[in-house]
Amino acid sequence: MLPASLDEAVTALAASPAAVPVAGGTDLMGAVNAGLLRPMALIGLGRINELRGWQYQDGAAQLGAGLTHARMGRPDFAALIPALAEAARSAGPPQVRNAGTLGGNIVTADPSGDTLPVLAALEATVTLVGPEGAREVPVSHLLTGLDPMRGGELLGYVRVPLLHAPQVFLKATGRSGPSRSSVSVALVLDPARRAVRCAVGAVAPVPLRPLEAEQWVSGCIDWDGDRAIDPAAAAAFGEYVASACVPEPPGGAAPGSGQDGKDGGPGAAAVRLRRTVSVLARRALGRALK
């Protein structure tokens, strides 16, 4: 089935509830090929033009779920939502970015999904469309299961507030070249609310928001001046974010204890993870404020 509109796709899904929607297929076909999924039928979303672009709406951008990573990585999109463009540019090799979509990344909800911490930091919402109409749900509620997708619903749009201020996405991977995040950090400035918002991806099943660290660092910034921050405060922010997002290894991380990250002792992985989160958060803040 290849519907040409979102309404047609919702109708097709209602008529065939066992069918599975497919956008770029980069996640879905992997699951099929691995024998994890045997869909009775597929509903292809790739011909729905209304889902492949974006439009402005009351100070926000309404993004179609069918936007590909490649499209989001282009300069015109990067000028609009820089952190999302950066995440899209790093989401796998070119052939995956050409096919993989924003909607698929959200619905798959893999912890290493690169768009997810960005959407969490931006406090984006999604429009879910089903036989009973459309409803808007915060991305964070969708990801945590507080407000999950219902049977027969499709993800139509993602609404992202336009902040007109620096925003940064950084990711660490276990190896060089395009690969999955082992840690990712999204950080956005919201000058109108005099706020820094940050989300850490890949360290937990859903992106984590270090709310106290955000609030603390927002108070360290001279919002009316040059927005500079003391390097010690930036480093403290990194530590604050890391301690909020990665549990302390049992017994702390004393040098020589096997928990200082220098050997493979118990807790060493948690220590390394904390360090990585701390460095990425400090760096992201520094870049946003430079």
Interacting residue ranges for ligand FAD, rule: CB under 6 A: 20-28, 30, 45, 65, 91-92, 96, 99-101, 103-105, 107-108, 113-114, 154-155, 180
Least CB distance to ligand FAD at residue 151 (A): 11
Query: Shortest gap between Cβ of 158 and ligand FAD (angstroms)?
Result: 10
The dihedral built from the CA positions of residue 31, 26, 95 and 105, taken in this order, carries a sign that is negative
SS3 195: strand
Pairing of β 20-22 and β 42-44: parallel
Query: What is residue 222's three-state secondary structure?
Result: coil
Q: Which residue is nearest to ligand FAD (CB)?
A: 104
Q: Is the dihedral of CA 69, 74, 77, 79 positive or negative?
A: positive
Pairwise CA distance, residues 212 & 77, whole Å = 31
CB closer to ligand FAD, 106 vs 289: 106
Distance of alpha carbon 134 from the chain centroid: 23
Cα–Cα distance measured from residue 269 to residue 256, given in angstroms and rounded to the nearest whole number = 15
Nearer to ligand FAD, 121 or 213 (CB): 121
Minimum CB–partner distance for residue 67 and ligand FAD (Å) = 10
Q: Please, what is the minimum distance in Å from the beta carbon of residue 95 to ligand FAD?
A: 8
Write down the residue that tokens 């400035």 correspond to: 189
Q: How far is the CB of 170 from ligand FAD (least distance, A)?
A: 13
Type of residue at 196? V
The nearer residue to ligand FAD, 181 or 259, going by C-beta atoms, is 181
Token pair for 77: 């999109």
Give bridge partners of residue 21 from the DSSP assignment.
Answer: 43
- Three-state secondary-structure class, residue 230: coil
If the CB atoms of residues 116 and 187 are measured against ligand FAD, the closer one turns out to be 116
Task: Closer to ligand FAD by CB, 50 or 239: give it.
Answer: 50
CB of 9 to ligand FAD, least distance (A): 8
The residue among 26 and 278 lying less far from ligand FAD, judged by its C-beta, is 26
